[in-house]
Amino acid sequence: MVVGDVMLDEYWWGSVERISPEAPVPVVAVQRQDAKLGGAANVAQNVRSLGGLVTTVGVIGDDRAARLVKDRLTDQGMSLDGLVVDPSRPTTLKTRVVAQHQQVVRADFETTEAINTGCIEHIAQRCLAALANADGLIISDYGKGVIQPELLERIVEPTKRAGKFVIVDPKDTHFNSYRHVTTLTPNHHEAGFVAGRRIRDDASLRSVGFELLERLDADSLLITLGEKGMALFEPKGRLTTIPTVAKTVFDVTGAGDTVVAAVAMTLAAGGTMLHAAYTANVAAGEVIKEVGTAQTTVDAIRAALDSIPEPVINHLS
């Protein structure tokens, strides 16, 4: 089950051959357009591409972007039952103009206002109804108003009491509300911001990671480090660093979505957090080869594992 900020990522693809006479900006000759699931919907799509069955729970508006979200979910064989429609809100839409594989500009159509109490009630009910058939819960927080402390209180503890995992892709504004979860997957910028200091080296990474792990009383914390890989923090001072396997980086858009999906699918299959972190690291290395939000598959992960050396994993206590 995935709950969070459902979005649509729209792309206008073209080429630039001249500068506008009206202003010092490139003129993009648009050749094609497409739209992909984004945010929590992209997390769900990543779970689906890894072979999982998934319920997507979130809020959409009553607009063109909402219709495209529903079309894309249906195309992937995913249910629309978890979507709550609020006509007073726009569906979050990010429109990117891309020329020669480079993003020229992005336009966001959205509100970040908190959802109303009626939406919170509907989302909580749909989460709890879906819980019986789910191995666990992914919370995808993009700070667009869906994830609120009141909602977290309604869904996190029941999921944990049912013996199921809770994985959070967090936003710094709600970080302290994510207590007692199975794991969180912030990037190093987010983790450093919440801790009040930048992660600059191994010492600051260790200090920030264990401080946040203790503050949230979480089972683990997985900090993504960009080109440096990942760091898995677990209780009793256990830190595992996993170097990146990515050789080519075109676009990191949506890589965090792939990470949480791969962690969830590994845990659902009976793996440990170490298995999950290593699998997520490989999966993220696959999707950043593509421009725009992308997904990977079990076969692609297997192929990537076959093509790289034995993992170099450092355990520090």
Instruction: List the catalytic residues.
Output: 257
Within 10 angstroms of residue 271's Cβ, the number of other Cβ atoms is 15
Pinpoint the alpha helices (H) of 4-116. Answer: 40-49, 64-75
Q: Are 14 and 30 in contact (CB under 8 A)?
A: yes
For tokens 């994985």, name the residue: 167
Instruction: Find the farthest-apart pair of alpha carbons in the chain and give their distance in angstroms, rounded.
Output: 63
- The helix/strand count (H/E) of the chain reads as 9, 14
Contacts of 24 (CB under 8 A, 6+ apart): none
Distances from the Cα of 131 to the Cα of 20, 125, 135, 164, angstroms:
54, 10, 8, 9
Contacts of 21 (CB under 8 A, 6+ apart): none
β-strand partners of 58:
83
Q: Is 270 exposed, middle or buried (0-12, 13-18, 19+ CB in 10 A)?
A: exposed
Helix, strand and coil percent figures for the chain, each rounded to 5: 40, 25, 35
Q: Are 165 and 132 in contact (CB under 8 A)?
A: no
Query: Whole-angstrom Cα distance, residue 164 to residue 144?
Result: 26
Query: Whole-angstrom Cα distance, residue 312 to residue 74?
Result: 40
